[in-house]
Amino acid sequence: MKKAIVIGAGIGGIAAALRLKALGYDVEVLEANSYPGGKLHAIDLDGYRFDLGPSLFTMPHLVTELFELFGMDASPSFQFSKKINICNYFWEDGTRFTAPSEKTLFVKNAAQTFNEPEKGISKYLDSNAKKYELTASLFLEKSLHKLNTYLSLDTVKALLQIGKLDVNTSLNNLNKKSFNNLKLRQLFNRYATYNGSSPYKTPGIMSMVPHLEMHYGTFFPKGGMHQITTSLFALAKNQGIRFRFDERADSINVEDGKVIGVTSNAHKYTADIVVSNMDIFPTYQRLLPHEKKPKKTLSQERSSSALIFYWGIRKEFPELDLHNILFSDDYKGEFEAIFDEKSLSDDPTIYINITSKHEKSDAPDGHENWFVMVNAPGDYGQDWHKLRDKARKNIIRKINRLLKINLEELISIEHVLDPVGIQTDTGSYRGSLYGAASNTKFAAFLRHPNFSQHIENLYFCGGSVHPGGGIPLCLLSAKIVAELVPKPLSHDE
């Protein structure tokens, strides 16, 4: 059999390994950590379970179809339930809004809460759906760096209607044009953070993201987000994929412009193809030090990172759900602090994720497990101890104001993860969550392709390359790689 080495057992790497195995490759995965999943990991602390990384689950078919590749039903190993509501939103003036996942109900409730005409909200959502319809097969499901992508009928359709994609205006300006209510604009502006960007810079095409939440729905996996990792890892092992944990890839070996294998800290492997699920920046800097580097791509602005407090809370809050947002009063100032000042706002938008709302065993009886996150800049040498302490105080003050509680006395345990820790644990350059930011209209085209343009049989997947970060896009990157690799033939053919 042809041999494939996958570097990194993040969710994109596991998915790539499964797809390569289904094609007929003999697959081995090298992982520097002692566990699979990368950012999609979990910890247990004194009776509380926390998902460490991604907390939003959409497009579950991208997970279940990996089981279907091997003629298997995913449900015995991986189960999930659809959320009726997407998120609870809170503002400083006491305004609260629960966003239903069903479009008609969302339009009705949003119109009442924000005093906007239903027709205008419906028109906005319909426009978002049109953008997705025009671009999904081009931007999300294919390589942007292959000529045949641009020769397709879908591409012609998209180009003929490029004015409807809002690539020449920012997401904020689009929302400003669409709505009079500042809070509704802010609600739709927040979708820029789904790829670690600023709504004041990222193009209006990003408005398609809320369409994905309403069209496909949002879900909760039984067992928490980490169950995505554990179920796919078990599937991969059952299919004969070999994982080498605590084994760091040190170099991708190239001879005469073609991949010949990988050298780790423990062994030298030969391979017919290599797929790197590592962040693209350290892949070139550390694994390919003597090869030509895509300087423009590697110099791109990095996406935002995160500062996360994992708190065990000695109380239950019926007004909170799985996903909750407490908005900043100065949203623009918050993003200027992150991207321009490389710092944190004194009034950050706070995201609270509580999996014990669905998985009662994630916290002791009468308690909740709070994953409390604020968007943060990457690590540029800031004093993170100082920033963490200041942010903790600001976060607790804001939660106390909006929920009218004394949070400090309810915190039983605490674990903290900052951009430095994210970079250390996952290898993400500067601790960015999504690789490059999408703060220009050309950012989608500047992401690194899923293949090397100079080294034969070298491929790339994961959040730092096309089509982007987040669980669905990482899984799609693996799907694109599987379409690009040569079909393997046995050695005697």
334 lies in some domain: no
Residue that finishes a domain, picked among 175, 195, 216: 216
Please tell me the pTM assigned to this model.
0.94
Q: Is residue 384 part of a domain?
A: no
The span from the CA of 281 to the CA of 229, in Å, is 24
Question: Does 202 lie in the same domain as 262?
Answer: no
8 A C-beta contact, residue 343 and residue 337: yes
Domain that holds residue 231: 3-38+223-300+436-484
Asked if 292 and 256 sit in the same domain, the reply is yes
Would residue 163 count as lying in a domain? yes
The model's pLDDT over 250-302, given as tens digits with 9 standing for 90+, comes to 999 999 999 999 999 999 999 999 999 999 999 999 999 999 999 988 999 99
The arithmetic mean of pLDDT across residues 459-488, rounded, is 94
Q: Same domain for 189 and 235?
A: no
Is the same domain home to 291 and 144?
A: no
Query: Is residue 203 located within the same domain as residue 263?
Result: no
> What pLDDT was estimated at residue 153?
53
Q: Domain boundary at 152, 187, 216, which?
A: 216
Which pLDDT score is estimated for 178? 97
Sequence-distant (≥ 6) Cβ neighbours of residue 250 within 8 angstroms: 263, 264, 265, 286, 287
Let me know if residue 394 belongs to a domain: no
Q: Are residues 201 and 227 in the same domain?
A: no
* Residue 338 pLDDT level (bands cut at 50, 70, 90): very high
Query: Is 402 within the bounds of a domain?
Result: no
pLDDT tens, 301-325?
999 999 999 999 999 999 999 999 9
> Into how many domains does the chain fold?
2
**What's residue 147's pLDDT?**
46
Is the distance from CB of 344 to CB of 380 less than 8 angstroms? no
| pLDDT value at residue 159 | 54
What pLDDT does 422 receive?
97
Q: 171-178 vs 118-135: helix axis angle to the nearest 10? A: 150
CATH number at residue 451: 3.50.50.60
Inter-CA distances, 267 with 103, 244, 285, Å:
54, 10, 20
Q: Is residue 356 part of a domain?
A: no
Please check whether residues 271 and 287 belong to one and the same domain.
yes
What per-residue confidence (pLDDT) applies to 489? Answer: 63
Pairing mode, strands 368-376 and 350-353: antiparallel
Residue 100, pLDDT score: 96
The answer on 294 and 235 residing in a single domain is: yes
Per-residue pLDDT tens for 414-465? 999 999 999 999 999 999 999 999 998 777 667 899 999 999 999 999 999 9
141 and 200 part of one domain: yes
Half-sphere exposure of 289 (CA within 13 A, CB side): 3
In a domain, 78, yes or no: no
**Residue ending a domain, choose from 216, 250, 279:** 216
Task: Give 3-state DSSP helix, strand, coil % of the chain, rounded to 5.
Answer: 40, 20, 35
Mark whether 232 and 147 lie in a shared domain. Answer: no
**171 domain-assigned:** yes
Are residues 183 and 233 both part of a single domain? no
Instruction: Please give the Cα distance from 323 to 341 (Å, whole number).
Output: 28
Residues 292 and 238 in one domain: yes
pLDDT band at 143 (very low <50, low <70, confident <90, very high): low
